[in-house]
Amino acid sequence: MTVSRPQPLLSVADLHTWIATDSGPVRAVDGVTLEVAAGEAVGLVGESGSGKSMLAKTVMGLLPDRAGTSGSVLLDGVDVLTASEKVRQSMLGPKVAMVFQDAGRALNPVVRIGRQITEGMVRHLGISGSEARERAVALLTEVGVPDPRRRLSNYPFQLSGGMRQRIMIAIALACEPDLLIADEPTTALDVTVQRQILDLLDRVRTTRGMGLVLISHDLGLVAGRTDRVAVMYAGRMVEEGPTDAVFDSPQHRYTEALLASTPSLDAPRARRMRVIEGALPDPRRPPEGCRFAPRCGAADAACGVPGADVLRDGVLGHRHACVHPVPLSGVGVPAGALAPADETRS
């Protein structure tokens, strides 16, 4: 059964991104397909090294010189992989923007906050510097920065980590993008600020009708804050569907293992969390078939056959790429039972 969805704002089809090295190409993103509609929040999860951030950088056109790509990335109908540099530059800000993991490194340390917020508006929106400055004050107010007019004169080092992250969000929202990519937006923030940042992203998406891709290795962070979730492993998409469906009834053995290794508010205090043994495969020489097979207790010879990791359509848009999916009667983890990100890190 298929589900009718709105026309996608972002449509990624059979995307491959590799980085050339002396020992062979590193296949960071390997055949990923993903769609995001306007106003929709999609969680992109997986352990470190699964390809989440590289997928985001490909969409943004922020790849290193030694990178290569194939497939297509349609943003509002324009393929950013084949578009000219001028077209790509014109899309950064008005069409798509990104909140990076570490605002302390992403912000220019020697440029005042006001200039970092206004320069994109002057360039892309064609407004005057004074008008851009007034819009910057309004943006800082919207993201919860106190005394916003005075903050325009500050340098990043004069602000706290949570305040810098809010500044990053204000910069990303300055040109009113249709799509916002948030890559681990609460990294290194204290528990209170984490929740405030996530609430802010929820509010902005709802009020602006903006598409949101929320990238995280933390399942508790995306639970209850996304409409759909996509799970990546070793550069491949292994499961994708409505968030509640994926959390309640995971089909791929990797998703099941991730959920089992995540703290649950309903679990007995004495229960030990599951550990996923082994490590990600070498991205230069990934195994044939399912890349999770070497770490999976349910794997057999069928899992090593080429094509074993192709996504299969399921009920209500829930897709998975597992030869031996988790039985539907198996124990899932209700999204609401997962400890929120700020509780798991306290």
What does the pLDDT look like over 240-272, one tens digit per residue? 999 999 999 999 999 999 998 876 656 566 566
Map residue 87 onto helix, strand or coil.
helix
120 neighbors 174 (Cβ within 8 angstroms): yes
Map residue 24 onto helix, strand or coil.
coil
State residue 331's pLDDT score.
47
236 vs 244: CA distance, rounded Å: 21
Map residue 243 onto helix, strand or coil.
helix
Map residue 7 onto helix, strand or coil.
coil
Map residue 214 onto helix, strand or coil.
strand
State residue 194's pLDDT score.
82
State residue 293's pLDDT score.
96
pTM: 0.89
**Cα separation values, 341 from 195, 243, 265, 267, 319, Å:** 8, 16, 12, 16, 25
All residue ranges of the chain with pLDDT < 70 are 1-6, 188, 263-273, 329-346
334 neighbors 259 (Cβ within 8 angstroms): no
Q: Which one, of 313, 270, 275, lies nearest residue 295 by Cα?
A: 275
* Tokens, residue 263: 């703290």
H-run or E-run covering 112: none
Please write the tens of the pLDDT for every residue from 72-114. 999 999 999 999 999 999 999 999 999 988 888 899 999 999 9
179 vs 76: CA distance, rounded Å: 10
State residue 266's pLDDT score.
62
Other CB atoms within 10 A of residue 154 CB: 16
State residue 5's pLDDT score.
63
13 vs 259: CA distance, rounded Å: 27
Which letter does DSSP use for residue 264 in this model?
Answer: B
